[in-house]
Amino acid sequence: MTPTPIMTVALIEEADIVAARQRARQIADLLGFEAQDQTRIATAVSEIARNATTYGGGGRIEFGIENADVPSLVIRIRDKGPGIADVDAILEGRFRSTSGMGVGISGTRRLMDRFEFDSQPGRGTSVLLGKRLPKTVNWVSTSRLGEIGKVLAATGASDPLVEARTQNQELLQALADLKAKQDESERLNAELEETNRGVVALYAELDEKAAQLSALNGQLEGRVAAAVSECQQANDALRQSQKMEAVGQLTGGIAHDFNNLLQIVTGNLEMLVRRLPADDVRLRRAADNAMSGAQRAATLTQRLLAFARRQPLAPKPLDPNHLVEGMSDLMRRTLGETVSVDVRLAPELWKVEADANQLENALLNLAVNARDAMEPGGTLTISTANGIIGEADAEDDATPGHYVSLAVCDTGAGMSEATMTRVFEPFFTTKEVGKGTGLGLSMVYGFVKQSGGHLRIESALDRGTTVTLYLPKFTGIAPAEEPVVVGETAPAKPGETILVVEDDPDVRAHSCDVLTELGYAVTAVADGPAAIDVLDGPARIDLVFTDVVLTGPMNGRDIAQHAQTARPSTPVLFTSGYAREAITHNARLDEGVTLLSKPFNYIDLASAVRAAIDKANI
């Protein structure tokens, strides 16, 4: 099929490469690709465009659309070069050159869904790249292509140096810091030279001046070493920050889609179990096994979000002693009779502000890791304490201040120094296959950092391990505790109606089925504008149950704000596989926001809906 053209970009000089990258990203954005795919497309285009310009003597890029069974963005890049002789070696990844050309072509294949390569001596090279359009785009009409063309013609390519300038800002700052340190070094050298001139002038005091010179040299070396160490730490922190940002974006995108799929699976499994005959043991066992697998997948996704510090937290002031006491029996049952649990709680312990559920999960993860390290048994000690971390004691990026420590200590096998350097890496584990995901400590580390604290681990072979969580002391005024609503499947009251806003048709159908089964009347829509129409109408609405991330111009927060204006007394219950920034700030739930995370079960939904409606009617 011949692609329908969108535009053509000429490749003549170096600046055209950056312009082509910008055009590729702009076209991908207009076609509805997400940010990650926009970056993949732009990177692939710029790699091949660089080869065409640098080694192929220039050429052109043709952007187009194929409206086939699977509609795709198609990009063909042609050059005027002499062609490539060793095509097979390049495509198979065996060719490595100092120019990087082979790496660019082989690497580009992994970025795109479709890659076709044709190069013949004396006839130039042609590369065809293809990327399937987003699932939400089934067809690109001629009128839509016309609109895209007008936008591209009106905006034009921006200054090709803008992106390079942005990428170089941090490098320029680093160079400026290095220049300042160099100036300081030159100043010290000048002082040294002046001292040497004094030594020559005062030959009689040679021994004394030589001692002074030695002292100055020592000072200079110490300051240079400190400056180099500081620069290295800054670089390490920058790389870690960039890595965590990339992991967070990738994890967030996966979590949103994956949790939606899990919601469909677990929801329908629950409905199946409720309708299976009680005496059909084989089918019930199969359904239970399937549900167990889905729940493990949901836990894995949650741990990934925790490691990436993207899980939505609902922090509240709490007493760590009370929390540890409340879960000590659970720990004893979980760890078994071979592990003795010793709880040592400090008197007058300060309060902290943290998500109680996530803190419990973190402590339970540490306890289970300790149990596995103490086969066949041992003693697990959980202790709390108040403490102050000063400037001299602060490690890594820890902030000096008042902290509450929660330490989990075991008498197990301990860890080597090599293992200690990797314990917080995601998916790293020393356990046998099938006995651990390698995300336990990573999740704990991410949760503590997300809560404003830090973590310290001490271990040695055959001497056990101690993991200490440091959470900042809560210095505010704790609000009055709200009454706890017991999660029961309380039925609907007569006439109660719920507006369900969900863009995934399968998730929407499941939510409606459960709510209808509970006795609620349901009005279901797929996007924000349709929800606004319902809210502005005369129909009774007792609760808005909306996904956070929606297809179209509005998200769940926009709908909630409109509901507050149009129907101030109507409560809003959010749901999401990954909340993002719409209802969170620094991954903490905004004030007054109630979130039901996907995948949720029948009882979760029933109790959350009942609690939200009843709370609004108090």
3-class secondary-structure state, position 579:
coil
Which pLDDT score is estimated for 617? Answer: 80
Higher pLDDT, 486 or 204: 204
Which pLDDT score is estimated for 570? Answer: 92
pLDDT in tens, 572-595: 999 887 655 545 555 556 677 888
- Which range among 16-20, 22-26, 305-309 shows the weakest confidence by mean pLDDT? 305-309
3-class secondary-structure state, position 215:
helix
Banded model confidence at residue 501, pLDDT cuts 50, 70, 90: very high
Mean pLDDT of 354-376: 84
CA-based R_g, the chain, Å: 31
- CATH number for the 4-158 domain, one of 3.90.1300.10, 3.30.565.10, 3.40.50.2300, 3.40.640.10? 3.30.565.10
pLDDT in tens, 384-396: 999 988 765 656 6
pLDDT in tens, 428-465: 566 554 455 545 577 788 788 888 888 888 988 888 89
User: Which of 47-61, 222-236, 267-281 holds the top average pLDDT?
Assistant: 47-61
Mean pLDDT of 516-526: 93
Percent of the chain past pLDDT 90, that is, above it, reads 25
Higher pLDDT, 290 or 409: 409
Q: Which helix (H) or strand (E) holds 497?
A: strand 497-501
The CATH architecture to which 316-472 belongs is: 2-Layer Sandwich (3.30)
Which pLDDT score is estimated for 310? Answer: 55
Q: Which long-range contacts (CB under 8 A, 24 or more apart) does 435-440 make?
A: 435/372, 436/372, 437/300, 437/303, 439/300, 439/303, 439/304, 439/306, 439/307, 440/303, 440/365, 440/366, 440/368, 440/369
3-class secondary-structure state, position 339:
strand
- Separation between Cα atoms, residue 589 and residue 496, nearest integer Å: 27
Mean pLDDT of 156-172: 50
Q: Which pTM was predicted?
A: 0.43
Measure Cα distances from 205 to 28, 208, 217, 218 in Å.
76, 6, 18, 20
Contact 163, 18 (CB under 8 A): yes
Which pLDDT score is estimated for 174? Answer: 37
Q: Is the pLDDT of residue 532 over 80?
A: yes
Mean pLDDT of 21-36: 91
Percent of the chain past pLDDT 70, that is, above it, reads 77
Banded model confidence at residue 243, pLDDT cuts 50, 70, 90: low
Mean pLDDT of 35-49: 90
Banded model confidence at residue 170, pLDDT cuts 50, 70, 90: very low
Q: How far is CA 461 from the centre of its chain?
A: 34
Peptide bond into 376 cis (omega under 30): yes
Which pLDDT score is estimated for 572? Answer: 93
Q: Which fold has domain 497-616?
A: Rossmann fold (3.40.50)
Q: Is the pLDDT of residue 562 over 90?
A: yes
Q: In which residue are the tokens 């700052």 written?
A: 173
- Separation between Cα atoms, residue 313 and residue 310, nearest integer Å: 9
Banded model confidence at residue 176, pLDDT cuts 50, 70, 90: low
Q: Which DSSP state fits 94?
A: -
- Average pLDDT score, the chain: 80
Banded model confidence at residue 487, pLDDT cuts 50, 70, 90: very low
